[in-house]
Amino acid sequence: MNVQDPSSGSLGQVQLAQAAHSYFIDLSLHENLSRTPIILSLGREIWLQGDTRVSTVSTILPEICIKGTAMNRLHQAIAGAHQRPILGAAVYFYDPVFLEIAAHMGFKVIWIEMEHAAITFNQAADLCRMARGTGMLTMIRVPDARRESVLKAAECGPDIIDVPMAESPEQVADLVRYARFAPVGARGFFSVSRAIKYGMVDSVSAEQQKLNTELSLLVQIETVEALNRIDELVAVQGVDIFIGPADLAASLGIPGQTSHPRLLEAVVRIATAARREGKKIVTACGPSDFIHWTRLGVDLLFSANDIVCLKTGAQMALSAANEAIALAASEKVTV
């Protein structure tokens, strides 16, 4: 879709720009228009194809929007992937080297693990800083939706906060309440954190509202209890869905069987409910299951982690060396 900026008089493709002014507009019911990212600078006037005129974000929504929500940084990355999943890698221990290698290899999101791993909040904040320098997005998985867990993770300045084992709409609502500033939530007013640029902004309040837009929130659906309440869980606004296949398989009584028909049936049920509410879908799995998730149309796929990569690389080197030793012995090579 083309837009015309009257200040320049030229036509051009709509491009992703300032995160604070990014809106995802569903124009599928508007004549001759499709689902398209539209970027506005407040106070600037643009023309939409078909001479539909808007002047600011505040006027675009009521005039032409069927569904419109502010695009956080994760949603922007997904929109820019052109219906292909973006790929992420997880860090289970504090390893800046792995983070940089992952960035050089082309991973777009780094998952900082704080549910199972012993990473501290100081280390998580450092990893967020490093990832920012590489252009990767960051996701912190906290242990639970308690205020302390969510708030400390949020102050590290990640792009995404993920809460595991969500089983009730109250848990999901807690995540929103503790991660969002008023009036959306009740996040504590702390003006000197990394997330607020240490207070070095023109307006702390304005920066807080910008963060309300930019920070992505995820909850993990990974138990039978969550599956049974999936319609209630996805009804909570402002939160996307992370499907945890390993724990869900265990909860279904088929531990380790992440390609089992019962697990895949449950995944489709969750994904259908999530899509009905306009949610993005995230997961993590091993190579044998990549095809299931790509067919499903997952938006973000975590496909590697530091421990598996280290183990796999070491095993490949060990196996290759042992094969060479065996070959040399069979050939009775002497020096």
198 and 51 in a single domain? The answer is: no
Other C-beta atoms lying within 10 Å of the C-beta of residue 54: 20
Mean of pLDDT values over 197-224 = 96
97 and 160 in a single domain? The answer is: yes
pLDDT tens-digit series, residues 212-223: 999 999 999 999
Query: 10 pLDDT exceeds 80?
Result: no
- Least reliable range by pLDDT among 56-60, 106-110, 132-136, 314-318: 56-60
Based on the residue annotation, tell me whether 30 is a catalytic residue of this protein.
no
181 and 110 in a single domain? The answer is: yes
182 and 289 in a single domain? The answer is: yes
Q: What's 225's domain CATH number?
A: 3.20.20.60
Last residue of a domain, one of 71, 93, 108: 71
Q: How does DSSP assign 291-305, residue by residue?
A: HHHHHHT-SEEEEEE
47 and 105 in a single domain? The answer is: no
Is the CA virtual torsion 286, 298, 2, 211 positive or negative?
A: negative
Alpha-carbon distance of 114 to 216, in angstroms, equals 17
- Between 202 and 22, the more confident residue is 202
Alpha helices in 92-234 (DSSP H): 96-105, 121-134, 147-155, 169-179, 204-214, 224-228, 230-234
Provide the domain limits for residue 93: 74-311
pTM, entire model: 0.79
pLDDT mean across residues, the chain: 83
Looking at residue 333, what is its pLDDT? 58
Mean of pLDDT values over 232-255 = 98
Confidence band, pLDDT 50/70/90 cuts, at residue 335: low
- Least reliable range by pLDDT among 40-44, 53-57, 285-289, 308-312: 40-44
Query: 270 pLDDT exceeds 60?
Result: yes
123 located within any domain: yes
Considering the candidates 21, 30, 116, 292, report the single residue annotated as catalytic: 116
60 and 107 in a single domain? The answer is: no
Confidence band, pLDDT 50/70/90 cuts, at residue 61: very low
Cis peptide before 169 (omega within 30 of 0): no
Structure tokens at 253: 């009584």
Looking at residue 39, what is its pLDDT? 34
17 and 125 in a single domain? The answer is: no
Residue the block writes with tokens 């030229």: 10
Q: Give every CB contact of residue 166 below 8 A, 6+ residues apart in sequence.
A: 145, 172, 175, 219, 220, 221, 226, 233
Q: Give every CB contact of residue 11 below 8 A, 6+ residues apart in sequence.
A: 2, 3, 4
193 and 302 in a single domain? The answer is: yes
90 and 120 in a single domain? The answer is: yes
Mean of pLDDT values over 133-161 = 97
Domain count, the chain: 2
